[in-house]
Amino acid sequence: MTTIFGIPIQAFLGQLLLGLINGSFYAMLSLGLAVIFGMLRIINFAHGAQYMLGAFVGYLLLVNLGIGYWPALILVPLAVGLFGMMVERLGLSRLYGIDPLYGLLFTFGLAQAVEGIFRYYYGVSGNPYSVPPLLAGGTNLGFMFLPNYRGWVVVASLIVCLGTWLLIEKTRLGSYLRAATENPRLVQAFGVNVPLLLTLTYGLGSALAGLAGILAAPIYQVSPLMGSDIIIVVFAVVVVGGLGSILGAIVTGYMLGLAEGLTKVFYPEASNIVIFVIMAIVLLLRPAGLFGRDA
Amino acid sequence: MAETTLRNGRARSSSRLEQGLVVLGILALLAAPFFVYPILLMKMLCFALFACAFNLLLGYTGLLSFGHATFFGGAAYFCAHAVKVWGWPPEAGILLGVVGAAGLGLVMGFFAIRRQGIYFAMITLALAQMFYFFCVQAPFTHGEDGIQGVPRGFLFSLLDLNQPLNIYYFVLAVFLAGVFAIWRIVNSPFGMILRSIRENENRAVSLGYSVANYKLAAFVMSAALSGLAGAVKAIVFQFATLTDVTWQMSGEVILMTLLGGIGTMVGPIVGAGLVVGLENALATSGFPVMIATGVIFMACVLLFRRGIVGEIQARWNARRESRSGNKAHG
């Protein structure tokens, strides 16, 4: 049997794939955080809750209305995005211009309230969400067996990340966004509706989290705890990558997912802390983060 | 000249008022166990000390830590282990908890002060989560079961802490000593430098202060005092569990401080009393605490960022200003 560093290649590649899938979610979530941070200068603690909300909306659509995975892929981000826009209008918009820590505290409270509501009604155990029939089964790649759905998640997350990057770097709307990040008052003076832009940005970030949630639903169990479990890891990813660059957030997300997968092969006990350890090392060597330009 | 006298007179009368209130508060706490369930009171006192220690960092140094559960829960584990497994007396166990928490604070602070603002918050959160995973896996914490049945023992081999009043007054003494220590730190020259860092870090640097060292010192002090609260809590409740090291616990202490008033001396005590009281009330009603605390969090941030005590102080000051203004004109 082929081995790498004394480990069967199947196990090795299997864990690497698992890491790549986790990395896909880290990338999508830290991308959303970076998009929101870029415009609003707020760290969205509720990002995990919105991810959980995405999975739950998908689950409830299926259970209550019989709406399946593919329509949910459109409906869920819309719903979570609208929820985000509402949050921004009613709450966050009142916190611009004061210490950004208040934004973090507000979204922390929001995350707790949302998680609390779902815990209250659905308990803490997970609910299964089955893989859509089109993507059921797997493909034999010769060296390993790849479940189709997992392959799809990797592809979908790449599309989402690339799409968001193109939206921000290459379109007119994106240029407004980037300009408003640099100097909101000047952009407003040019007749761009900056408050609307802020609302849309937070909506977009929330929608990304919701989309990640529905993509995650068939892989992980749909549980009220899924949001708070992942958000802290994603924060560490963001500290490593720095929030200054969209591309940095994406690349760091995939890299740390893979690092986590590799650790599972060699030293499983440390797999859930390896990202934090990497964060600590990066803080020692490059305090501003790998892609950080900000102070 | 008249202006200065007036101001001095005012300062004296207000400090006399404050002293009066402090004495009243202490008297109320001394009498409280005869009217209220002592266990609830002791829980409030432990959390009040925890919140005051947290406030030393957030309110007076301007650093928002999202990882203070590490020190509170970590110290509870150290103390419970020393007392139960090694048979140490309670005071030694508490001391170990404080030293352990200070050590953890040194490590976490060392990494966290490399970044500022929200990054500082995220780093402390991540490191605290790492400590949580450590506690889940380390054998001495007994995972989900926690360390149970910790004996309260005899304080200095003299005072039987199993007597409800004895342990209450012991906890009260620790609480008062802890708050006094914080008050001394805040009002010392060292505390003034901390405040200057909060107000304008760059200026503090340009004045020649090694800001990083001051921040680290404040972090370690805050951690040690949080550890004191956690270790005493372990003795009072006779157990140490994972609950105390979760990120929810870090959030809870932030809420207590925010609700009472960030950067006020009394605010965190009021906030801790209210949050613990609320949780106690909700525990029997079946309404989930998490929703309540989340909503209070949002309401605080949106409606009264100065917190309850902070708002009262601000209104009081404004009223006095306007009154003395009238006097000056008349």
Transcribe B159-189 into DSSP letters: EETTSHHHHHHHHHHHHHHHHHHHHHHHTSH
pLDDT mean over A142-158: 85
Six-digit token string for A168 = 């921000």
Determine, yes or no, domain membership for B24.
no
CB contact under 8 A, A95 and B301: yes
Residue B11 lies in a domain: no
Residues of chain B in Cβ contact (below 8 Å) with chain A: 64, 111, 114-119, 121-123, 125-127, 129-130, 133-134, 137, 247-248, 251, 254-255, 258, 288-298, 300-302, 305
Say which of A100, A102, A276 has its CB closest to residue B127: A276
Which residues fall within 8 angstroms of residue B27, CB to CB, at 6 or more apart?
A: none
Quick check: A292 pLDDT over 70?
no
Residue pLDDT, tens place only, A39-92: 888 889 999 999 999 999 999 999 888 888 898 899 999 999 999 999 999 989
Exposure b/e, B223-254, CB count within 10 A at least 16 = b: bbbbbbbbbbbbbbbbbbbbebbbbbbbbbbb
The whole-number pLDDT of residue B286 equals: 81
In a domain, B22, yes or no: no
Burial B169-202 (b: 16+ CB within 10 A, else e): bbbbebbeebbebbeebbeeeebebbbbbbeeee
Is A113 close to B64, i.e. CB distance below 8 A?
Answer: no
- Collapsing DSSP to helix, strand or coil, A147 comes out as strand
- Please tell me the predicted confidence (pLDDT) of residue A23: 92
pLDDT of residue B37: 87
Q: Which of B130, B135, B245 to mutate to test the interface with A (most CBs of A within 10 A)?
A: B130
Distance CA(B127)–CA(A110), nearest Å, equals 23
Task: Report the alpha-carbon distance of residue A31 to residue A52 in Å, rounded.
Answer: 16
CA–chain centroid gap for B108, Å, is 18
Which ranges of chain B have pLDDT less than 50?
Answer: 1-12, 330
Q: Where are the alpha helices (DSSP H) in B85-199?
A: 90-112, 117-137, 164-186, 189-199
Contact between B302 and A106 using a beta-carbon 8 Å cutoff = yes
**Interface with chain B: mutation pick from A121, A283, A286, A290, highest number of B CBs within 10 Å:** A283
> Using the beta-carbon criterion (under 8 Å), do B258 and A105 form an inter-chain contact?
yes
pLDDT at residue A18, as a whole number: 85
- Minimum distance, in Å, between the CA of residue A59 and any CA atom of chain B: 22
| Range(s) of the domain holding residue B140 | 38-247
The answer to whether B291 contacts A112, with C-beta atoms less than 8 Å apart, is yes
| Assigned domain for B91 exists | yes
Partners of A104 on chain B (C-beta within 8 Å) are 64, 118, 121
Nearest to A239 among B123, B294, B298 (CB): B123
pLDDT for res A56 = 93
Q: In the block, which residue shows the tokens 């832009």?
A: A197
How many Å lie between the alpha carbon of A35 and the closest alpha carbon of chain B? 16
* CA gap B43, B126 in Å, rounded: 27
Q: List the structure tokens of A51.
A: 């991810």
Does the structure show a pLDDT above 70 at A94? yes
The predicted pLDDT at position B160 comes to: 78
Residue ranges in B32-89 assigned as alpha helix (H): 38-61, 69-84
pLDDT of residue B276: 93
> How far apart are the C-alpha atoms of A211 and A164, rounded to whole Å?
13
Yes or no: domain A8-129+145-285 corresponds to CATH 1.20.120: no
A228 contacts chain B (CB < 8 A): yes
pLDDT band at A295 (very low <50, low <70, confident <90, very high): very low
Q: How far A277 CA lies from chain B's nearest CA (Å)? A: 8
Instruction: Determine whether the interchain pair B118/A119 forms a contact, defined as Cβ–Cβ distance below 8 Å.
Output: no
Nearest to B293 among A112, A228, A295 (CB): A112
The residue-averaged pLDDT of A179-186 equals: 83
A277 CB neighbours in chain B (<8 A) are 130
Distances (CA, A) of A153 to A25, A29, A78, A264, B43: 9, 14, 19, 20, 47
% of chain B with per-residue pLDDT over 90: 49
Contact: B126, A276; criterion CB under 8 Å: yes
Polymer length of chain B:
330
Element housing B153 (H / E): none
Cα-Cα-Cα-Cα dihedral sign, residues B63, B64, B65, B69? positive
Strand partners, A179: none
DSSP state of B147: B
- B80 neighbors B234 (Cβ within 8 angstroms): yes
Average pLDDT, chain A: 87
Partner-chain contact B111 A119, CB within 8 Å: no
- Count the domains in chain B: 1
The pLDDT value given to residue B9? 41
Judge whether residue A286 has pLDDT over 90. Answer: no
Contact A261, A20 (CB under 8 A): yes
The residues, ordered by sequence, that sit 6+ positions from A57 with a Cβ below 8 Å of its Cβ are A72, A75, A76, A79, A80, A210, A213, A214
| B187, part of any domain | yes
> Nearest CA to A91 among A76, A115, A118, A109?
A109
Closest residue to B129, CB basis, from A113, A119, A232: A232
| Gap between the Cα atoms of A264 and B294, Å rounded | 35
CA distances in angstroms from B293 to A19, B185, B297, listed in the order given? 35, 30, 6
In Å, what is the CA distance from B301 to each residue of A47, A106, A205, B195, B270?
18, 6, 22, 22, 17
| 0.90 exceeded by pTM | no
Residue of chain A whose Cα is closest to the Cα of B120:
A239
Q: What is the pLDDT of residues A105-133, one digit of tens each?
A: 999 999 999 999 999 998 888 888 888 88
